[in-house]
Amino acid sequence: AATRIPRGRQFFANPGPTNIPDSILKAVAHVSVDFNDPAFLKVYDDAVAGVKRILRTQHDVFLYTGSGHAAWEAALVNLFSAGDELLVIETGYFSESWAKMAQDFGLKIRTLAADWRRGADFAALRAMLAADTGHAIKAICAVQNETATGMELPLPEVRAALQATNHPALLLVDTISSLGSMEFRMDDWGVDVAVGGSQKGLMLPTGMSFTGASPKALAAHAASTLPKSYLNWTHMLTRRHKSFIGTVPTSLFYGLQESVRLLEEEGLDQVFARHARLAEAVRRCVRHWSGNNGPQLFCLSPDRYSNSVTAVMMPEGHDGDALRRIALQVFNVSLGGGLGPLGGKVFRIGHLGDLNEPMILGTLATVEAAMRVAGVPHAPGGVNAAVEYLADAARS
């Protein structure tokens, strides 16, 4: 199919970065200000207090100029010492990437292996923790929402496993593609470090990330000896902003204040319900397509479906990236690709952030059109399944 000059807005269905609402775009388009200017400090303090409410934490939050990887790194270097052992719950590409980063810092990794399509087994997690009678495991690293596979990890189960085995390990959670889209309760769920980023549920440009840190995490920090400087919490705590060793990215805070305002105006529970509704519409559509040997939901555990991203597995012999190219070049719809070993095997529909029914229906209809163009087998009419579901949801 021929490439076309795009007109109209691009439909952006990536699982991060996500669509930025116009009011946030306007808020970040701010002139430079002194980051110690009292008027800015008010905005800053207000935005940080908002992040704490969204994390549902009373604890400290440290913020970084850098994408989610910076917050991953901050969590590791601030808590651990060379040779410390971490238990990583395998979820997919992002749990592997975090583990690899920890290895780069000289940390030892034990993995709770799991099938990427089915998810981790909590009985096995309990058994691993129970067997660790010497408490060699210093922390569990858990990715709440595996963006590569479209699967959620139920965090209360992780906390329950720690409690059942009386294991003192810290609980580190990556909320990068769940925060502000799916329920997360840092304090209630006993999370010691929660890693978040700006460019997904918070609907901001990429470039800022943060970690909530419990008192237990701060105690571990005091004993940690991994080298650290720019990301060092102790240095940060000496600053007025309690974060940012260097210049504060002020524009992002005008945006963050607006992002928190938008999320709280809608109400977090309503935000989560909207994501659940749009996600279910996507899944019904994909389930319909799966007839005629069509594409299928990658996640095989219905109780763990992600409400922020759906990974769709291509039929054997068909390339997800070729389909994505058609969607982008012919129809101006941007979809997520498969990551790591899933490259070409899946494509991903991001349904998080600033999104409504017409946007998701437009995306689904266009994916169906692109499948026709690409000659990908499917049962036509998947969009009708989504239309029916969304209409029913609006009536009830």
User: Which stretches of the chain bind ligand PLP, using CB under 6 A?
Assistant: 16, 67-69, 94, 143, 147, 174, 176-177, 197
Closest distance to ligand PLP from the beta carbon of 91 (Å): 8
3-state secondary structure of 117: coil
**Long-range contacts: 101-105, Cβ < 8 Å, 24+?**
101/69, 101/72, 101/73, 101/76, 102/76, 102/141, 105/76, 105/77, 105/80, 105/226
Q: Between 259 and 290, name the residue whose CB sits nearer to ligand PLP.
A: 259
In a 10 Å sphere around its CB, with 0-12 CB exposed, 13-18 middle and 19+ buried, how is residue 103 labelled? exposed
Smaller CB distance to ligand PLP: residue 256 or 330? 256
- Minimum Å distance from CB 208 to ligand PLP? 9
| Closest residue to ligand PLP using C-beta atoms | 68
What are the beta bridge partners of residue 172?
141, 193
- Nearer to ligand PLP (CB atom), residue 126 or residue 185: 185
- Between helix 215-223 and helix 68-79 the angle, nearest 10°, is 60
Q: What distance in Å separates the CA atoms of residue 223 and residue 81, rounded to the nearest whole number? A: 8
User: Taking the complex as a whole, how short is the minimal distance between the CB of residue 294 and ligand PLP, in angstroms?
Assistant: 26
Q: How far is the CB of 342 from ligand PLP (least distance, A)?
A: 13
Chain position carrying tokens 């349904």: 351
Residue with smaller CB distance to ligand PLP, 57 or 308:
308
157 HSE (CA, 13 A, CB side): 17
Please state the closest distance from residue 338 (CB atom) to ligand PLP, in A. 13
Phi first, then psi: what are they for 248, rounded to 5°? -85, 135
When the beta carbons of 200 and 283 are compared against ligand PLP, the nearer one is 200
Closest CA to 199 of 163, 154, 147, 164: 147
Q: Which is nearer to ligand PLP, 145 or 290 (CB)?
A: 145
Smallest gap from Cβ 143 to ligand PLP, in A, equals: 5
Report which residue type is found at 213. A
In this complex, which beta carbon is closest to ligand PLP, that of residue 143 or of residue 385? 143
Q: Which is nearer to ligand PLP, 119 or 197 (CB)?
A: 197
The residue (of 296 and 306) whose beta carbon lies closer to ligand PLP is: 306
CB of 191 to ligand PLP, least distance (A): 15
As measured in angstroms, the least distance from the Cβ of 119 to ligand PLP is: 14
Phi first, then psi, for residue 325 (nearest 5°) are -60, -40
Give the long-range contacts of residues 22-28, CB within 8 A, separation 24 or more: 23/258, 23/262, 24/203, 24/204, 24/255, 24/258, 24/259, 24/262, 27/254, 27/255, 27/257, 27/258, 28/204, 28/205, 28/251, 28/252, 28/254, 28/255
